[in-house]
Structure 1
Amino acid sequence: MMLEKVTLDDIQIGVKAVDWKDAIIKSSKILLEKGSIEDIYVEEMIRVLSDVGPYIVLGKHVALAHARPEYGVNELALSFTTLEPPVEFGSENFDPIKLIITLAAIDSNSHIEMLGELADTLMNEKKVKALFDAKTKEEFYKILKA
């Protein structure tokens, strides 16, 4: 269970970003500092999003930032970043983005269970709204784990 491994150090609250590129860069900071990903991974997330469009936007106000494992993933990892103010990603139906979940998967299969766990969390609209509204890492963590 990957969500069980999430700690306070995997959460950023109220990050200010000038645009979606800046939001991706800032949301990747935790995984870069931990050594879970390399700089090329962040560059690839931005490149693909520029080329393909906002495919990482999962639903209303939520994006799952990720790229292919061969672009500098060192370990399976996950982080959460709330944006204040929210940022436009170019998704007509789901902008602006308030929460970026940054995923680093080491292969095509290792993250499948984690995505199932995330789906369960994200389908609970009340819980997601509470995550958006969390003012501290501790509050976000408590809601995520509930």
Structure 2
Amino acid sequence: MLRELVTVDDIEIGIKADNWEEAIRKSSERLLEKGAIETTYVDSMIKVLNENGPYIVLGNHIALAHTRPEFGANELGLSFSTLNPPVPFGAKHFDPIKLIITFSATDSDSHLMLISELATILSDTGIMEKLFDAPTKEIFYEQLLEGLN
């Protein structure tokens, strides 16, 4: 499913951000451009993070930016943004964040296979190091697909 959903154009390398809020706004731009999400979706991600803390931080240096579908998710969407320099999100043991995966889903079920594929990639520390260090979006994309094999 990831292979069909994500293209090289869904990847940004080396985003510069002064803080986690700016990082989320910048990492959301691709999904906004595609129409997968509305600006209300981005605002909701930031609001919920302010209210609940860094719940989107999944592990070492990785954040999965998302919120509830009713806040402006128009379609299933996924984008990847590496941060340079990495940005702290307030997750003590997992900061700073090097990779933000921005995710949108329109319901509670249609994305489960996609999340399963992502989990396989995220649990492979070798692949993750290659993704963190990818110098171009083309190389990032190749490494991402290698993680599915």
Same fold? TM cut 0.5: yes
Alignment coverage as a number of residue pairs: 146
TM-score by length of 2: 0.96
Unmatched tracts of structure 1, length 5 or more: none
Q: Is the 8 A contact 1:4 1:145 kept in 2?
A: no
2:57 is aligned to 57
Percent identity (aligned): 60
TM-score by length of 1: 0.98
Q: Is the 8 A contact 2:10 2:78 kept in 1?
A: yes
In structure 2, how many angstroms separate the alpha carbons of the residues matched to 1:38 and 1:4? 22
Q: Using the TM superposition, give the Cα deviation of residue 110 of structure 1 relative to its aligned residue in structure 2, in angstroms.
A: 1.2
Taking only aligned residues, the RMSD between alpha carbons, in angstroms, comes to 0.7
Unmatched tracts of structure 2, length 5 or more: none
Counterpart check, 1:82 vs 2:106 = no
Deviations 1:28-58 (A, max 9, x none): 0000001100000000000000000000000
In structure 1, how many angstroms separate the alpha carbons of the residues matched to 2:3 and 2:48? 26
Q: Is the 8 A contact 2:5 2:78 kept in 1?
A: no
Give 1:78's aligned amino acid: L
Secondary structure class of the residue paired with 1:145: helix
In structure 2, how many angstroms separate the alpha carbons of the residues matched to 1:112 and 1:73? 16
Secondary structure class of the residue paired with 1:70: helix
Secondary structure class of the residue paired with 1:89: coil
In structure 1, how many angstroms separate the alpha carbons of the residues matched to 2:55 and 2:115? 15
Q: Using the TM superposition, give the Cα deviation of residue 99 of structure 1 relative to its aligned residue in structure 2, in angstroms.
A: 0.2
In structure 1, how many angstroms separate the alpha carbons of the residues matched to 2:69 and 2:4? 22
